[in-house]
Structures are given as C-alpha cells and as structure tokens.
Amino acid sequence: MKKRAAALSGAVAVLAGMVTAVPADANARSAAAPVAKLAWKKCATSDYPTLQCASLKVPLDHDNPQGRKITIALSRIPHTAKKYQGPLLVNPGGPGGSGITLAGFVASSLPKEVAAQYDVIGFDPRGVGAGKPALDCKPDYFSPVRPDSVPTTPKTEQANLNRVRAFAKACATKYRDVLPYIDTISAVKDMDAIREALGARQINYFGYSYGTYLGAVYGKLFPNRVRRAVLDSVVDPTGVWYDDNLRQDYAFNDRHRALMAWIAKNDKTYKLGTDPEKIEAKWYAMRSALAKKPADGKVGASELEDTFLPGGYYNGYWPFLADAFASYVNTKDDDPLVEAYENFGAVDAEGDNGYSVYAAVQCRDAPWPRDWGTWRDDNWEVYEKAPFMTWNNAWYNAPCAFWPTKSLTPVDVSNTALPPVLIFQATEDAATPYEGGVITHHLLRGSSLVVEEGGGNHGITLSGNACLDKHLGAYLSDGTVPRGGDGEADAVCEKQPDPKPLSDESASPSSRGSTLHGLLGFRG
C-alpha cells in the first residue's frame, strides 16, 4: 500500500489538472426557483415500519426554473432523538440506483443512538424509479440470449454494434427533450432543491460507489451547504467515465481470479481441483460451451459473464456461483447455473430503468470516443491481460459512442472549502479500484481515508466490518475522523473473512452485507 501511495501522490496533481472546474454560474441555484413543500406519507414495509415517502417537483433545466418540471421521489426515516443533526441524504450509486429503500437500511444499520439524531433521506435521482419521467429506453434490452461479448468475428462485432446503436437510437427517440438534462450536475442541483424543501441550511451526505462522485460534485458546487460527508468505495473523479471503465476491467479480472483461488481452497466441496489456473481454464471452457449451447436457452457466454460479475462486487455470492460452476462441470447439471443467472444476472424492468439512466448520465457527463476504432483497439489491448469482463463492459458502455447529446466537461472536484470528509476504500475493490479513493483523498483537503486492507467487496460500511463501522459511527455522532497513520491511510481495518461453502455448517453469511449489496446493485 505504501509503494502504491508514493506513485499515486505524484500523479494526483497531474490528473487533477486534466479536468475543468464547474463554471462559476453553476455554484448557486436560481433565486427565482420557488421553495417546494414536502407532503410526507407513510410507505412502511415490514423491514422499515417507519419509512415515509414524498415527491418533489424540480426544474428539468435548472437554468430555466420556471420551465418544465419533473418529479423525483423521496423517502425518510424521521429522527427520534432530542438532539437533531439534520438530514442525512443517502445514495446507492449507479448512476441509476434507487435510494428509497436505502434510507431504511442505513437508519436500521447505524447505531440506534446515531440514527436517531438524523432524518435519513433516500431519493431516486432524476429519471429513476418512482420519479417522473422514469427512463426506459428499450425494454428487455438485456433479454437472453445476446451475442457473444467477445467480437472474435466481424459478424459478432457487427451484431453487438447494431444492438448498442439501436439502444442509443431508442433513447433519442423516446427522450430527446429529456436526455440533455440527465447528468450528474443536474442531479446535484436536485439534491440542493431537496435541501431547500427540507428547510435545512446544510445537509449531511452518505454515498456509495457512483454516489461518491455525486457527493463530491455536490461539495464542489455547494461547499458551504455540506455539514458532513461519507464516501464509500470511491470513483476516480479524474477518469470519468471512459478511462474508469477500462481500469475496472483489470480489477474485475483480479477478483475473478480470487474466486478461482477460493474454489481451489475449497476443493473438498467443489471438486474442481486445487490449481486456480486450471480451475480458471475450466471456467473459460464452460463459457465456450455455453456460447455454442446456452443453458436452458437463457445462459449464453454473455449471460454467464453477467452472472459471475456480481461476485466481483461481493464475495458473499461466491458460494452460490461456485455451486453452479461445479454442477455444470462435474455433473453436467445446468439448473443451478440457470438459477444463479436468474438471481444475479437477469435484468428486470427496474434494471432496464437503471441502465437507461446509467447510460444517459455517463454518456452526458463526459466525452467518449466517437470513433469505434478507438474502442476496438483499447479494449482488445485490455482483453489480452484481463479477458474476464473487458468486452462485456465495453458493450455495456458502448451506446456512448453513438449518444445523441453533446457531452459536458468533467467536474474538477478538488476542494479546500469542505469540512472533513470521511472516505472508505477497500484495497482490492474492482468496481471502484483503490486508486480512486487515494486520489479523492488528496483532492479533498482535510479528508480522512479509512482503508480495508485486503478487502475486495464494493460498499464496505454497514456490511459487517465492526472496525469500519466504528469510524463511521464516530463521525456521524460528533464529527470525529481518524488522523495520521503510515502511508496515505489515516486508519486501516482488517478485511472480513472470506465466505465458507454453503455446505459448511459453520457458514454464516452476513445478512446485512447481503441486504446492502442487493440495494447497491451492480455496474456502479
């Protein structure tokens, strides 16, 4: 970790200089925008009996506050303590993730005495979930069986290109008037509209994954309106979004190999061998077989990648994925694999909505290569070293090569005006590699970085690591942050133990961890 820090520290200034600051006129909402009132209603669930919901109308174009309005959905777990520390806005990432249920999860997972001091506020960013409009550019876009993600022939490449072009065209047809306003800066201005509607002078913020970038951009535009901010599993703000996605590919390949090594250690259960490289070869043989004959007509090569990708986000899924893998190889039984696909890889209507917003935000937020030859060259280069998810990830983002709106300039999130920000990062995180946490720590002056050494999960607080949660609780309680330590980290926590096979009677997966990662979802 120390060696990596030395290299990173020198790179921060160079990287930060590659992005452009937000224009000065973006630093305040228009005084002409009226302050909305929120009407909270009960929307309790069995898990979160005190959950309340409301909706808020905001300008589609914040530069034209009297123009067309759209609706964003909100949720709340009200504070119960006499000591009130204001609203705590929470976001699960994406972009495109719904935060409505996350409010209940965060409020119930924090120490009771801490949660009781906040109104925990969830929200669906513009275009998401219960908001209106809720984007769905092309329903069933991920229906199986898709073309093989690896374009080994011109025919396969063209089939994938036709598919992503059709998605971009469908978005342009259905949402041409909306797409220019589905972006991070607009979502951040919605957050400030939420603050106003809550009657709060400042907000507290807690974001995972893409939610860390959302929070950092909010801090850039509205630094005086941030009281406290927690960023967990941090996007590298200097790589949005094309470069960040390429860097993910290497990290996901490493996490996939970590799964292979875990299966090797548990050969008594899975009987796939004790050599991780040979087990990995069996996985790719399975992929080749499924490319020719999809399991149950549903799980081809691309769907297999979709199924195993969640294992790169959360190792609590490893036992289920290993069972499916072993059954396919050892007994030719593909039923567990189909079940794993339906549980982890299949995309429903909510997923269609989330992906539509994901594409709209990422394609609008920053420039993407418009020459497909650049994508082809870059991804083949990465694939040579990291074959697991490179092309699957490329096609996931490829609509941006044909997107109908002009791109914005990435936001320089460097900040000297914020109060101390608390950053959490696992060293082996694949979705938001470790370097992003370190770079953001350097860009946000006065921030503190808490590292989960050896951890590979994405989203690490409130998922069972008591050391991490102790720092989180102290910060939200009274603003305490750790200071000092060797290298770039202000505090280091040990990772949680790897899971055990499902057949192990002592196995006890973290229910909180599974719940959290179900809310965070994948891809962001």
pLDDT tens string 187-246: 999 999 999 999 999 999 999 999 999 999 999 999 999 999 999 999 999 999 999 999
Integer Cα distance of 315 and 300 in angstroms: 23
Helix (H, G, I), strand (E, B) or coil at 274: coil
Q: Which amino acid is at 202?
A: Q
| 98 exposure class (CB count in 10 Å sphere: 0-12, 13-18, 19+) | buried
Directed axis angle between helix 349-365 and helix 154-175, to 10°? 90
Share of the chain above pLDDT 70, in %: 91
Predicted confidence (pLDDT) per residue in 336-381, tens digit: 999 999 999 999 999 999 999 999 999 999 999 999 999 999 999 9
Predicted local confidence at residue 39, as pLDDT: 97
* The two three-digit tokens of residue 135, written as one number: 């984007």
* 370's tokens: 């418009």
Q: 313 near 457, Cβ under 8 Å?
A: yes
Q: Using 50, 70 and 90 to split pLDDT, how confident is the model at 437?
A: very high
Residue 275 is which amino acid? D
Handedness of CA 416, 183, 56, 129 (dihedral sign): negative
Give the per-residue pLDDT at 6: 35
Answer whether residue 453 shows pLDDT above 70.
Answer: yes
**DSSP structural state of residue 279:** H
Going along 382-444, which residue ranges are E strands? Answer: 421-426
Are 137 and 356 spatial neighbours (Cβ–Cβ below 8 Å)?
A: yes
- For residue range 395-421, list pLDDT tens digits in order: 999 999 999 999 999 999 999 999 999
CB 212 within 8 A of CB 231: yes
CB 60 within 8 A of CB 69: yes
Residue 522 has pLDDT above 80, yes or no: no
Give catalytic status of residue 183 as yes or no. Answer: no
* 3-class state of residue 452 by DSSP: strand
Average pLDDT over residues 379-388: 98
The pLDDT of residue 12: 39
Q: What is the pLDDT of residues 160-174, one digit of tens each?
A: 999 999 999 999 999
Tell me the average pLDDT across 251-255: 98
Buried b (16+ CB within 10 A) or exposed e, 471-496: bbbbbbeeeebbeeeebbbbbbbebb
Q: Dump strand ranges (E) for 420-512.
A: 421-426, 448-453, 491-494
Q: Would you say residue 34 has pLDDT above 70?
A: no
C-alpha span between 13 and 7 (Å, rounded): 12
Pick the catalytic residue from 429, 469, 490, 517. Answer: 429
Our answer to whether residue 55 is catalytic in this structure is no
Cα separation, 319 vs 500, whole angstroms: 7
Of residues 149, 209, 233, 448, which has the active-site annotation? 209
Question: Among 10-19, 334-343, 414-423, 438-447, which stretch is predicted with the lowest mean pLDDT?
Answer: 10-19
Q: In angstroms, rounded to a whole number, what is the distance separating the alpha carbons of residues 113 and 474? A: 11
- Please give the pLDDT value at position 484: 87
At residue 524 the predicted structure's pLDDT band, cuts being 50, 70 and 90, is low
pLDDT of residue 486: 65
What does pTM read for this prediction? 0.93
pLDDT of residue 82: 97
Which entry of 62, 79, 441, 458 is annotated as an active-site residue?
A: 458
- Let me know: does 76 contact 40? Beta carbons within 8 Å: yes
Mean pLDDT, the chain, integer = 93
Query: Would the pLDDT of 14 be above 50?
Result: no
Based on the residue annotation, tell me whether 429 is a catalytic residue of this protein: yes
Peptide bond into 133 cis (omega under 30): yes
Whole-number pLDDT of residue 19: 41
Concatenate the DSSP letters of all residues of 117-168 into one string: TSEEEEE--TTSTTSBS---SSTTTTPSPPPPSS--SHHHHHHHHHHHHHHH
Q: Rg of the Cα trace of the chain?
A: 22
CB atoms closer than 10 angstroms to residue 469: 20
- Residue whose pair of structure tokens reads 């399991």 in the numeric block: 295
CB 195 within 8 A of CB 203: yes
Residue type, 163: R
Q: Tens of pLDDT along 42-91?
A: 999 999 999 999 999 999 999 999 999 999 999 999 999 999 999 999 99
| pLDDT, position 513 | 87
